[in-house]
Structure 1
Amino acid sequence: MRITCPLCGTRDRREFYYYGAEDYLHRPAPDAAPETWDDYLHLRDNPAGETRDLWYHELGCASWLVVTRNTVTHEISAVELVAEVSA
């Protein structure tokens, strides 16, 4: 699989570290209920199809990326810098 980093261009997947679902960007408030924190930390969907995941460009520019990809076809439809993703 090849990922096109917005800063470095197209690179092999082995340059990147997969972190997990984009959900980690949507952290609950510090005073949120324990159940909300439990859901945030432990419950994840595992969809077949399009996902938005966090990847770290470890052997490149050291940027965090949101990669939109299809888990069935492995097609990557978008790559964005986390810093530029609207909340």
Structure 2
Amino acid sequence: MAEILTWEQITQRFQGEWLLIVEAELDEQMGIIQGQVLAHSSNQDDIYNALPLRQGRSASIEYVGEMPEDLAFILSYEFTSHLPTSAIGKPSLS
């Protein structure tokens, strides 16, 4: 089993790096209290390439350190339905 680290331990070990974290325990503001670091890199693309390592588990991508002023990012959400295609988008007449 991989090591679970507190956020304080994570920030001490991975300063200036992008992280892929699973098994995260979150506080009320959705900040990470502790979690398992699956991948870390100074290159953000390496973290996106490591996403298959999460094996279906919820994951967080975090940056530890000061964000560069010229960095911009977009938050997105992918919706995946577990309903059969025939049940999506058809209004009920009952």
Structure 1 and Structure 2 fold alike (TM over 0.5): no
Q: Comparing both structures, which one devotes a greater share of its residues to strand? A: 1
Report the TM range for the smaller structure's normalisation. Answer: under 0.3
**Structure with the greater alpha carbon radius of gyration:** 2
- TM-score with structure 2 setting the length: 0.20
- TM-score with structure 1 setting the length: 0.21
